[in-house]
Structure 1
Amino acid sequence: MKNTYITHALFMAMAASAFAVPSLAQETNAVADQADSGGLEEIVVSARRRNETVQDTPVAVTAISPSQLEASAALTIGDLQGAAPNVLITSAGTGAAAANISIRGIAFADIEKSFDPAVGVNIDGVYIGTSTGQMLDFFDIGSIEILRGPQGTLFGRNTIAGVVNIKRSRPTGEFGGKFEASYGSYDQMGLRGVLNVPVIKDVLAAKFFAFHNESDGYYKTVGTGQRRGGSNNENFGASFLFTPGDRFESLLTFDKQVQDFDPILGPLSRTGDAFAGALPAEFVDGNNTDNVYRVVAPSQQMVGTYSSPGVTNEMNLDLDVVKLTSVTAYRESDDQLRQDYSTTGLYFADRDQQYKQFSQELRASGKLFDGFDYVAGVYYFNSRYHIDQFTSVFFGAPTHQDTTGWSKSYAGFVDFNWEVMDKVRISGGGRYTYDKKKLQTAFTDPSNAGASFTGDKNSECWKKFTPKLGVDYRPNEDLMVYGSWSRGYRSGGFNGRGLTPFASALPYDPETVDAYEIGLKSEFFDRRLTLNLAAFYSDYQDIQQTTTVSVPGVALPQTIVSNAANAKIKGLEADFSAKPMDRLTVRGSVGYTDSKFKGFIVNQPVATGPTTSISRSFDFSAVDMIYAPKITASINAEYKLPLGPGDLKLNAGYRYLSRYDQQISADPALYPTALASAPTDIITVAQNDPRLRSDAQNLLDASVSYVFSLDNGLNYRLTGYVRNLLDDRGTNTSFVASNFPVYWGFATAREPRVFGVQLGVDF
C-alpha cells in the first residue's frame, strides 16, 4: 500500500496549497460545453493531426468533452461503452487495467503482449502497444476522440479498426488546480487532484497530479458474503511545459500507474465440461446474469499487481513555412497475476510479465501552397516482453512457461488535403510499414518429460503500404458530404501462448481491411442542431483467429493462432447534438453493424479419451463475430438551471447494446456429432457456445450537480450520481477453456447499480 500513501500525501499537499493561499487563486472558467443561449459551441478536434472542427473533418469521429465525463461520473475508458456508435469497450478480467475494444465489428480480445491491439489507444500522441494499461483515469483529461475505421496514415502504428485518442490537460502557466473526493457503492472511494504552478513566468510551467481509486468489489462469496474483486488504483506524475519563445515548446510528462487488485472471476461452467464433476455445485449450470456475481472462495491466495512508469516528451518548433514535431516516449510495465480461473484451484496460474516499449515520431506539417496542407513523418516503435508462468492442473506439479518476445516497427507516412476547386477537397496519403518480430519459448512439464522443450528464437518480418483516398464537397457552410477508401493493416506475429514446438514457432500473417465510407455532416437552425451520418463497408481479410484446443499428451489447453477467415462488415451510423431550448442540450447516436464470416474452416482435434483424439474439420462461417452487437444506441440530456449563487445541472443518459458474442468457440452440443462424423465431413457450426453471449444491455445513468462559486475565488461542484440505475446485470467478458471437450468456463461481470457522491473544487 506504499503507493496509496504517496498518492494521499500528494493530494493533501496540493489541496493544502489551494486553500492556504486563496489570495493567489484566480477565478477560472473552463470552456463551457454549451453556451447558455444561442447555438451549440464548436468542438475542435485533432483527428487528422490538425486542429479543425468536428463538422469540418471528413472522417467518422466522436468527440467526448470533459464535462460529459464529469456529468456521468466516468472513471475509466470503459465508461465510454456505447457512447459512440458501433463502439464497444469492456474490461478484461485476466489482465491488469486491460481493455477489450471493438469498433465497427473488428476486435481482438486478448491480453497477451505478443498480439497487437486491433484498436489503437493513443495517450498524448503515444500509441499503447498492449491492451493492459489502457484503463486510464479520466479526471485529468483535456479531450477524447474516437475515430472509427482504419487509421493508416496517422497516429503512430497502423490501426485496423480505429483509434481512441486521449489528451491529458496541459500545464496552464497560472497558479490553479482542481480537486475531487468521491464515495459510492461497494466502498468505492476516490481522491484526485491537479495543481498548476508557474515556475518561471511565461517560460516554464508545471502541473502535478495524483489520483486514487479503491473499491471492495461487487462479487460476493457464497456462504460468507465476503466482497471480492476489489481494487486499489493509483496514477500520479508531473508535466513541465517549457516555452522559451513563441516558436518552440517542449512538454515533458512523467507518470506512473499502479494497481493492486483481486483477480476474481465469475463461474460459467456447464454440465458436460471436463472439470464440471470436480467443481462445487454453485459453479455449474448457473445463469449468465446474477450467478456470475456469486463466487466460491479459491483454495489458493490470488494476487494481482501492476506497475507502469512512463515518460513522454513532445517538442514543437514553428518555422513559419513548416511546423516540426517530435514525440518521444518510453513506458514499461510489470504485472503479476496469481489467479484461479473460477475452478477452486483445479487450474491455477502464477503469471509474471515485464514489458517495455519505446517510440519515436517525427512530423512535419504545413502548406505547400494555398489550398494544400500536409502532415508527413517517420515513426519507430520497439518493444520487448517476457513472461514467466507456472500453471497447476488438478493440484499437480506446476508446468513452467518462459517466453520472450521482441517487436520492431519502422514507418514513413504522409497525409494531405488539397482544395482542387471551390468547395471540393481531395484528401489522402499513405504509410509504408516494416515490422519485425521474434519469439522464443521454453516449456517444462514435470509430469510429462516428452512435452518439455526449449525452442529456437524464431524471427519473421512483414512490410505493407496502406493508402487512403477521400473527397469532400461543401455546397454551403452548413453541409458537407464526403467519401473515402482506406486500407488498414495489423502486423503478423508469433503465438505467445504456444506450448508446443509447433504452436510457438509457427508465425501468423498480417490481416488487412479495405474500408469504404460515405458520410454527411450538417448543421441546422443557427447551430442548434448538428446531424452526422455515415455508411461503411469493410472487406476484412486474413483474420487472425485464436482457437483454444485440447492436445493429447499435453496437460494444458493449447492456443493456436492462424489467419483463419475473411469477413464482410457493413453498417450505418448517426449521431446528433441539439439545443432545442436555452440551457438544454441533447446528444444521441445510433449504430448498426451487419457482419458475416466467409471461408472460416479450421481443423480441430476432438478428444475420444484422456490421451486420444481424432481430427475433424469445422466451418465457423455462420457464427457471430465477437464484440459486434448489431445495434448500439445512446441518448443523453443535460439541463442547467440557475439556482441561488450557482447552477443546478440535471443529467440523464441511456445506452443500449444488443446482444453479442465474446469468443469464437463451437457449441458443445456438436461434440457427439464430431465424434460420429466421417473424417472427410465438414461440420457446420451454427453458433458459438451459448454461454459466451452477452444479453442485450439497457444502461441508464443519472446525476444532479450543483456548481457554485464563493467570494474566496473557489468554485465548487457537488454531484450525486447513479450508474446503471436499472441494475442491468450480466457478463462483461466470458471465456471457455478449450473445445471438444470444454474444460470449464469463466466470466467477468459488468458493474451493477452504483450510487455515489462527489465533491469537487477548482481555482
Structure 2
Amino acid sequence: MYVPAALRARRIYPRYVNSFGEEIILNFKQFFLASCATIIAPAFTAFAQDTAPEAQQSAPPAEAQNTNEIVITARRREESLSRVPISVSAFSQDTLANKSISSIDQIAQATPGLTFGRSGGSANPQIVIRGQSRSNIGDAAQPVLTYFADVPLPYFSSILPTYDLGSVQVLKGPQGTLFGRNSTSGAVPVYPAEPTYQFEGYMMAGYGNLDRREAEGAVNIPIVADKLAVRIAGQRIKRDGYTHVVNTGQRRDDLNDSAFRVSVLLEPVDTVKNVFVYDYVKWNRAGDAAIINQVYPGNIPERFAPLNGFYDCNTSIACDIDLQFERQQAAGVRKTWSDVITTLKTRAIGISNTTTIDLGSITLKNIFGYRSASNVNVNDTDGTSLSLIIPDQAQRYKQYTDELQLQGSFLDDKLDTIVGAFYLKSQPNGRVGLTLSTFSPPSRPAMIIAYRTQTSKALFGAATYDFSDLLEGLKVDAGLRHTWDETEACGAGYSATYPFVPQTTPIATLSECVNGATYTINGAPVDIQGTQTNDKSKALTWNFGVNYQAMPNLFLYATVRRGYRAGGVNTPLFNASAPNSLAPYQTYAPEKVTDVELGAKASWRAGDVRGTVNFDVYRGVYKGSQRGINGLNGFDGDGDSTNDPSAGTIIVNAGNARVQGFDFEGTISPFHGLTFGAFLSYTDAVYTSSGIPAIFNGTGAFPADPDDTAFPYAPKWTMGGNVAYETEIGNLGSLALNADVYRASRTYFGTYKSDKGLSQPAYTLVNARIDLKDIGGSPVSLGVYARNLFDKVYASGGSNTARSAGFSSLFYAEPRTYGVQAKITF
C-alpha cells in the first residue's frame, strides 16, 4: 500500500516518450464489446503476424512492454491508465506545455466530449460532459466538479492556471462512490506538482501579440533528506483586451492574472506522509465583452411595452435597439459600445492538507480542504450603449471540506477496498448581492441579496475483487454511497440607488437579512427584511462493473451507475399572490441518472509501427433534470421588481432526458519521434418528457416541445487531430513540432434548438507550436506558438440568453494569439 518516496516521484512525474506517449490524449474510454472486436481485431491480427508463436507465449506483461505507462489516481489509488475501468483522460505538464495550454478550459480542444463555455462571464464557467450543464445563475449543484489537490472547488473559481502541475485528469460519467462530492456527469481533478527530495526548478518568460507578457517558475528545495521538502511556484500574465469599447476606450477581454503556490512534503517516518498545499489566484480584469447578435421579431416584449419610447423609439440610436444592432453588425465583433465601465475581480485562496498513514494492509488517508472565493463583476449584459441589462454582482463564499478514507488490500491482494466519509460546508464570507438594472431608465433597478449555506455529508465504499482463479484477468467492482444535502437561504429584495451607478447600492449583511434593517436609499428609508427558506435532499447511489484483461494489450469493461445532483432553493421569497406566482418553484428536487458504459482500451504493434485504440459507448437516463429558466424579470406580474428571481432566473425540474453517445480515440506512431493522433465524440441528448409547467409556455423562457429543447454548451460532434514530431539536430538540440486541429458542431447557448441565432455554428481551430529544446546541450529551451492559427471568429458563450428580453448577446473567444517563450530548467 505504501510506496517509497523515490518510486512515488517516478510515478507522479512520468516521463513521456514522444513517439508513443507524450502527445497522446491518454483517454481511458469505455468500449462497446461488439465494436471492440470489429475495430481492434485487425490491429491484433497484424500484431500476431509480426510475432513468432514462441514470443507470444513468453510475452511480458503490458507494464514491461511499455515502460512509459501512465499512472493515475482516478480511483484514489495509483493505477495504470490502461487498467482502470472508468473513462479518464490524462495530461502531464509536458503535454500541456507542448500544446501551449495555459488555462484548464483550453484542454477541451484536446479532449473528446468535454466543453468549456462562458455563461454570463469568465468567472462563471460552464464545464460540460455528456450534455450536462449548470444554471447560469445561483448556487445549484454542479454536474461536473473541478478538484484541486483532491478538494472540490466552488463553481465561480474553478478555472485554474496550468503552471507547475503534476497532472490534469478528466473523468466521465457519474462520480461519488470513490471520493469527493457527488456529481452526475463527471469530474476534473487537477494535481499540482508535488515536492521532491532534490533541488530543481524552472523559469519561463514569454511575450506575444496583444502585448502579452508572462512569467512563471518553480523551485523545489529539499530541507531534510527524505523527510522534508518545499516547492514554491508562481505565474504572472498580463495581456491587452481584444475587444475595444469605442465610446469609452476600455479594452475588454483582457488578462491581468497572478497566482502562486507553496507545497510542503513532510515524511517524519517511513509510514507517514503529509502534503500541504496553499494556492492563490487573483484576476483584476476589465471583464468580458458582450456583443449583441440578434433582435427577435416584435422587438419589445409585451410586459415592457411602457418602455417603448426608450427601447424602440424608431427615431434615434440613443433609444432604439434595432439601430444599435445595425451599428454592431457593421462594426464586427471586436468593437462594441457601452454605457458602463465593466470590471471583473476574482480572488481564490485554497488550502489542501493530505495525510497518509501506512498501517500494513490498510492505509488511512485524510484530505482537509479550505477554499475562499470572492468575485466582483460589473457587466454590460446587453452589449449596447442603452441601459438595458446591467448586473452588478458580489459573491463571497468560503468552503470547508474533509474526507476520510480507509483503503485496504486483503485475501492475498485479491480484494481491494475503500470506505470513507465526506463532509462539505459552503457559506457566505461577507456581503453577497446582485444589483440588476433591467431596461433602466425608466424602470428602477433592484438589489437582490441571496445568502445560501450548503452542507453535504456522505458515506461511501467500494471494492474490487480479482476472480483470476476462475478466469485470468477478470475483476468485479462495486460501490455504494449515501449522501445527505441541505441548503439554507435568506433572501430579500429592495430598491437600488437610482440613477443606477454600479457598486453604490448598500448590500445588506446576512445578519440584516435575517433580523431586518433600515437603509436610506434614494433619500428615503427602506426597510429590509429577508425571508428564510431551506431544502433537504438525500440519495443512495451505487455502481457495479466488470472488467477483463482479455489480452496483455486489450482491456474491456462494463459498468452501470446511479448518480445524483442535490436539490436546492430559488431566491428571494416569491410573491404567493402574484398573477403568475413563482411560489411553487421556490425549491427544486434532486436530479438522478442511471448510466451504462461499455468500453475498452488497447495498444498494438506491427513491426516498428505502434498505436492505441480507445472506444466507448454510453447511455444515461436522467429523471428530474435540473434546468435554468431565464428572463423572468417582471414575469409574476405584481409590478414589484424586488421579489423577482435573482438575475431573472430560476431552476426547475424540466422532465426526463436521455443522453447517449460514443467516444473514439486512436494514435499511431510510424517510427520513433513521430506520432499521429485523432479523436471523435458524439453526444445525442434529448428530452423524453417535459416537466416544464404550462405557466411558462409562450413566454420564451423554455420550449414547450421537448424536441425543440437544446442542451446548452453540448455540441453533438467534437473531433480533433494531432501530429507531434521530435528529432535531434546535431549539437544544436532537440527540435519538437506539434500541431492540433479541433472541430465542434453547432453549440447552443440557449434552450431552443430553433433559435439558431443563440448558438455557434460548427467551427474549426488549429493550434501549432515549435520548440528547440536543450539548446547546445544547455538547459535552455525556446518555443514559438500560435493558437487559433487561422483567426477563426467564434462565440464561446451567451451573455443574455433570455428570449423574453427581445434580444440576445454573446461572448466571443480569443482571436489568433501567438508569441515566443524561453525556458530554463535547473
> In 2, distance between residues paired with 1:241 and 1:641?
36
Alpha-carbon contact 2:206-2:213 (below 8 Å) kept? yes
Q: Percent identity?
A: 26
Q: Which secondary structure does the structure 2 equivalent of 1:663 belong to?
A: coil
The equivalent residue for 2:373 is 333
Within the alignment, does 1:522 sit opposite 2:602 as a pair?
yes
Q: Secondary structure at the match of 1:155?
A: coil
User: Quick one: which amino acid aligns to residue 421 of structure 2?
Assistant: V
Shift of 1:455: 4.0
Aligned: 1:357 with 2:399: yes
The reply to whether residue 155 of structure 1 matches residue 164 of structure 2 is no
Matches within 5 A, 1:742-753: 742-753=805-816
Gaps of 5+ in 1: 1-28, 666-686
Compute the displacement of 1:761 (Å). Answer: 1.1
Q: Are residues 1:188 and 2:171 paired?
A: no
Aligned to 1:576: 666
CA 475–692 in structure 1, closer or farther in 2 if over 3 Å, else same:
same
Aligned to 1:9: none
Q: Name the residue aligned to 2:717.
A: 631
Query: Where does residue 697 of structure 1 map in the other structure?
Result: 763
Partner amino acid for 1:627? Y
CA distance in 1, matches of 2:767, 2:331: 20
Q: 1:733 aligns with which of 767, 792, 797?
A: 797
**Which residue of the other structure, out of 689, 694, 699, is the alignment partner of 1:599?**
689
Aligned residue for 1:336, secondary structure, equals strand
Corresponding position: 1:708 with 2:768? no
Scaled by the length of structure 1, what TM-score is found? 0.86
Report what 1:294 is aligned to.
335
- Which moves more between the two structures, 357-366 or 276-285? 276-285
Quick one: distance in 2 between partners of 1:109 and 1:291? 29
Map of 1:456-475 to 2, 5 A cutoff? 456-475=531-550
CA distance in 1, matches of 2:135, 2:141: 10
Once the two structures are TM-superposed, the CA of residue 225 in structure 1 deviates from its matched residue by 7.4
Q: Which residue of 2 aligns with 1:378?
A: 421
Q: CA deviation at 1:362?
A: 0.4
Instruction: Judge which range, 287-296 or 137-146, deviates more.
Output: 287-296
Q: 2:109 aligns with which of 82, 87, 103?
A: 82
Which has a greater percent of strand? Answer: 1
The alpha-carbon deviation at position 490 of structure 1 amounts to 0.6
Map of 2:59 onto structure 1: none
Distance 1:285 1:625, change over 3 A: farther
| Residue pair 1:173, 1:201 contacting (<8 A) in 2 also | yes
Secondary structure of the residue that 2:366 maps to in structure 1? strand
Whole-Å Cα distance in 2 between the matches of residues 724 and 412 of structure 1? 45
Distance 1:224 1:452, change over 3 A: closer
Q: Give per-residue Cα distances to partners, 1:400-454, cap 9 Å, x unaligned.
A: 11210010011011111111232211011111100111111110137999x9974
- 3-state secondary structure, aligned to 1:106: coil
Q: How does 1:159-558 map to 2 (within 5 A)?
A: 159-222=183-246, 227-263=251-287, 264-270=289-295, 272-274=298-300, 275=311, 278-279=319-320, 283-284=324-325, 291-296=332-337, 298-341=338-381, 342-344=383-385, 345-370=387-412, 371-385=414-428, 387-393=432-438, 394-395=440-441, 397-420=444-467, 421=470, 422-445=472-495, 454-496=529-571, 503=582, 506-525=586-605, 528-548=610-630, 549-550=632-633, 551=635, 552=637, 553-555=639-641, 558=648
Whether contact under 8 Å (1:267, 1:291) holds in the other structure is no
CA separation of 1:479/1:721 partners in 2, compared to 1, >3 Å: closer, same or farther?
same
The Cα shift of 1:399 comes to 1.3
Structure 2 match to 1:684: none
The root-mean-square deviation of aligned C-alpha atoms, in Å, is 2.9
CA displacement 1:216-254 (0-9 Å, x = unmatched): 111123478763222211111311111112111111111
Q: CA deviation at 1:635?
A: 1.3
Q: Is the 8 A contact 1:127 1:155 kept in 2?
A: no
Q: Give the Å deviation of 1:347.
A: 2.6
Tell whether the 8 Å contact from 1:288 to 1:731 is kept in structure 2 after alignment: no
Deviation (angstroms), 1:709: 5.4
Counterpart amino acid of 1:71? N
One-letter amino acid matched to 1:473: Y
Query: For residue 104 of structure 1, what is the aligned residue in structure 2?
Result: 130
Equivalent in 33, 49, 66 of residue 16 of structure 2: 33
Alpha-carbon spacing, 1:283–1:65, altered in 2? closer, same or farther (3 Å) = farther
Number of aligned residue pairs: give it: 702
Q: Is the 8 A contact 1:603 1:617 kept in 2?
A: no
Shift of 1:152: 2.5
In structure 1, distance between residues paired with 2:243 and 2:16: 37
Tell me, in whole angstroms, the C-alpha distance in 2 between the residues paired with 1:289 and 1:245: 69
Shift of 1:538: 0.7
Report the CA distance shift for 1:616/1:59 in structure 2 as closer, same or farther (over 3 A). closer
TM-score, scaled relative to structure 2: 0.80
Give the structure 2 partner of residue 619 of structure 1: 705
> Displacement, 1:170?
0.5
SS at match of 2:157: coil
Shift in Å, 1:484: 0.5
**Pair 1:648-2:735 in alignment:** yes
1:620, distance to aligned residue in structure 2 (A)? 3.7
Q: CA deviation at 1:88?
A: 0.8
Q: Which moved more, 1:748-757 or 1:414-423?
A: 414-423
8 Å contact from structure 1 (residues 537, 571) kept in 2 = yes
Equivalent position amino acid for 2:364 in 1: L
CA distance in 1, matches of 2:105, 2:710: 23
Shift of 1:751: 1.4
> Once the two structures are superposed, what CA deviation does each residue of 1:257-287 show, in whole Å capped at 9, x if it has no partner?
1111112322234154434653566741589
One of 69, 80, 84 as aligned partner of 1:57: 84
Q: More displaced, 68-77 or 344-353?
A: 344-353
Indicate if the aligned counterparts of 2:629 and 2:701 stay in contact, CA closer than 8 A: no
- CA 1:737–1:710: 2 relative to 1, 3 Å: closer
Which residue identity does 2:747 align to in structure 1? Y
Amino acid at match of 1:365: Q
- DSSP 3-state at the match of 2:625: strand
- Cα separation, 1, equivalents of 2:269 and 2:330: 59
More displaced stretch, 500-509 vs 376-385: 500-509
Query: 1:360–1:755: structure 2 CA closer, same or farther, 3 Å change rule?
Result: same
With over 3 angstroms needed to count, the CA separation of the structure-2 counterparts of 1:369 and 1:615, relative to structure 1, is closer
Judging changes above 3 Å, is the alpha-carbon distance between structure 1 residues 276 and 408 closer, same or farther for their aligned structure 2 residues?
Answer: farther
Contact 2:591/2:625 (<8 A) preserved? yes
- Tell me, yes or no, if the aligned pair for 1:175 and 1:197 is still in contact at 8 Å: yes
- Letter of the structure 1 residue corresponding to residue 733 of structure 2: G
In the TM superposition, 1:137-152 aligns within 5 A as 137-152=161-176
Q: Deviations over 1:690-711 (max 9, x none)?
A: 2211111201111000001567
What is the CA–CA distance in structure 2 between the aligned matches of 1:78 and 1:69, rounded to whole Å? 12
Q: Is the 8 A contact 2:117 2:713 kept in 1?
A: no
The answer to whether the 8 A contact 1:498-1:559 is kept is: no
- 1:292-316, Cα deviation, whole Å (9 max, x unpaired): 33211x2232221111222110111
Counterpart in the other structure of 1:563: 653
SS at match of 1:284: helix
**Deviation string for 1:56-103 (max 9, x for gaps)?**
11111111222221112111111112322211112344352x421111
Letter of the aligned partner of 1:122 in structure 2?
Y
**How far, CA to CA, are the matches of 1:288 and 1:418 in structure 2?**
62
CA distance in 1, matches of 2:312, 2:782: 50
> 2:531 is paired with a residue of what secondary structure?
coil
**Aligned pair in 2 of structure 1 residues 641, 399: CA closer, same or farther (>3 Å)?**
same
Structure 2: state its 5+ residue gaps.
Answer: 1-11, 21-64, 301-310, 314-318, 499-521
The answer to whether 1:128 aligns with 2:153 is: yes
